[in-house]
């Protein structure tokens, strides 16, 4: 059985990775890149750390793509 804290962390990363995937127009073959980016964002959200890469802000990850905003 998974540690509930780790499961929650993995779920958070999965949600962020999917949002990145959506925001980039559903490209194929980039899931590893999206997961790594999402992991950096999730870590920054948990620790309050800054993110090095441009466009990888925690706020960006939680904002729905403009196509989903009414």
Residue-wise pLDDT tens for the chain (70 aa)? 556 566 799 999 999 999 999 999 999 999 999 999 999 999 888 888 766 555 555 555 555 555 544 4
d(CA 6, CA 4): 6
Two tokens at 59? Answer: 């706020």
pTM of the predicted structure, to 2 decimals: 0.65
């Amino acid at each position: 059985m998974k540690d509930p804290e780790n499961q929650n962390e993995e779920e958070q990363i999965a949600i962020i990775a999917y949002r990145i995937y959506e925001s980039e127009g559903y490209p194929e073959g980039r899931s590893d890149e999206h997961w790594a980016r999402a992991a950096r964002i999730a870590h920054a959200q948990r620790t309050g750390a800054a993110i090095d890469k441009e466009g990888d802000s925690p706020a960006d990850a939680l904002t729905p793509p403009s196509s989903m905003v009414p």
